[in-house]
Structure formats: C-alpha cells, structure tokens
Amino acid sequence: MKRYFISIVFCITTFLSFGQTNPEKELGSWYMLFGTHQVSGKLSINTGIQLRNYEVVSNYNLNLLYTGINYKIDSNILFTFNYGYLDIDKSIEFTNIKNTIEHRFWEQLSFKHKLSKIPINHRFRFEHRFLHDLTDNSIQNRIRYRLGTHIDLNQTFFIVANKEFFLNIKGETFRENRLYFGLGIKLNKQFKLQLGYLNQHINNLNLNRLQFGLYIKTDLRKRNNSN
C-alpha cells in the first residue's frame, strides 16, 4: 500500500512540473535524506543530503551535504554543531552568477516544551557562510529562528508545521523567511517519510516548493555491544 501511495504522489508532481519557466510560477521541489545515529546517551551524529530543483523533477537549483554532532543537554534541549557543503546554481535568479560553492558551519540550539497540550519546538541557529564563485569570495553570517510543532495523529501519522525567520548580520537584514506544512508517516522505528509544502520568500521571490523527506535513525550503541 505504501509503495502505491508513493507512486501516485510521484506521478502527480511530475505532471505538475511541466510547462513552468518562471521561478515564482514554478512548483519546485526539495528531496531530502536525514540521518541520526546514536553514539551514546547524550551524543549522536547527524547526516543529511538535500537536492533542490526549480521544478519538481528537473531544473537543478542546489545540493547540500552536511554532517555534525548533537549533544543532548537534557530531555528538552539539544545542541548541534554542523558543517555543510553546497553547490548552488543561481543562473535563473541572477543571470550574472551561474555557480557558487559554499562551505557552511553552524551552531544550533533546539528547545521543546508544551503550550497547554500542544508541542512547541524552538530552533536557534547561527550560521557562518563561506561563498566562492568565479568573480568573488565572501563571508556572510546570519541568525535563524524557527518556531514549530509536531503533532501525532495516531501511531502512524503525524503533522508538522513551522515558520522560520532569517536575520543577516550585514547587508539586507531580512531577505528570507519560510512557512512549512507537512504530513508524516512512521514506517517503523527506524524510518519516517514526510511530505510537505514550503512557501519560501527569498531575494524578493515568492517560491512554492514540495518537500519529500526520508528520516533514518540508527543506534550505534547496539552494534558496539554486539561486538
């Protein structure tokens, strides 16, 4: 049944992608793979891959590869330090810039609590961006804050919603914000699938994106104990 559902979604989004040329009129896509690998009670390794397109299955925008370490301060607070590598094609948005390579480092603090019975998630991130293209090298720093919720509908399905704001330290202060809604499916204890819609305001553009995310959890402690 799950295979049929995924096939139907893929066919629909493929159909929607035809005939679109303007970034603001296109229905684009983000394909994402996230991994969390538990090392100890407090430490875990996170990994991720993202492929973003201006259209659902074509017209490449960027890819992002990252990894880092999570430290669980307590049951509600998590600190993360990550490194990411990005290959960005900006030729549609900026005709004079075709390709940019970015090395990104960030520190992140995640905090969760309940408001009445509703789970609330806060994410604070400080990013350091080292950008390189054919004509220029630059360093940019920005602060990101995301407010969201994750609500279980039953043992299999859940919904996710969040709003994120970006604050640049230099230059144009508010250049991007995002609004996201998604439906998640718990396939088993290790795998979750999340399908959602993202509205992204960036560089004076209003972009609509479908998100397809696969989340994987592994416990490396079990492997160590079995050796």
Q: Is the pLDDT of residue 95 over 60?
A: no
Rounded to an integer, what distance in angstroms lies between the CA atom of residue 143 and that of residue 112? 19
95 vs 170, more confident: 170
Q: What angle do CA 85, 90, 92 make, to 5 degrees?
A: 150
Rounded to an integer, what distance in angstroms lies between the CA atom of residue 131 and that of residue 23? 22
Q: What local confidence, expressed as pLDDT, does residue 18 receive?
A: 40
Q: Is there a domain that residue 28 lies in?
A: yes
Amino acid in the structure at residue 53: N
CATH number (domain holding residue 23): 2.40.160.40
Q: Is there a domain that residue 66 lies in?
A: yes
Count structural domains, the chain: 1
Q: Is there a domain that residue 213 lies in?
A: no
pLDDT in tens, 167-176: 999 888 888 9
Q: Is there a domain that residue 218 lies in?
A: no
What proportion of the chain, given as a percentage, has pLDDT over 70?
Answer: 85
Contact partners, residue 37, CB within 8 Å, separation at least 6:
44, 45, 46, 47, 217, 218, 219, 220
Listing DSSP states for 154-223 in one string gives SSSEEEEEEEEEEEESSSSS--EEEEEEEEEEE-SSSEEEEEEEEEEEETTEEEEEEEEEEEEEEEHHHH
Write out the residue range of the structural domain in which residue 188 sits: 2-207
Q: What is the mean pLDDT of residues 131-143?
A: 91
pLDDT in tens, 155-165: 999 999 999 99
Q: Is the pLDDT of residue 8 over 80?
A: no
Q: Is the pLDDT of residue 20 over 50?
A: no
Q: What is the mean pLDDT of residues 94-102?
A: 76
pLDDT in tens, 58-77: 889 999 999 999 999 999 99
What proportion of the chain, given as a percentage, has pLDDT over 90?
Answer: 73
Length of the chain: 227
Residue 91 tokens read as 């030729």
Q: Is there a domain that residue 13 lies in?
A: yes
Residue 66 tokens read as 């990252």
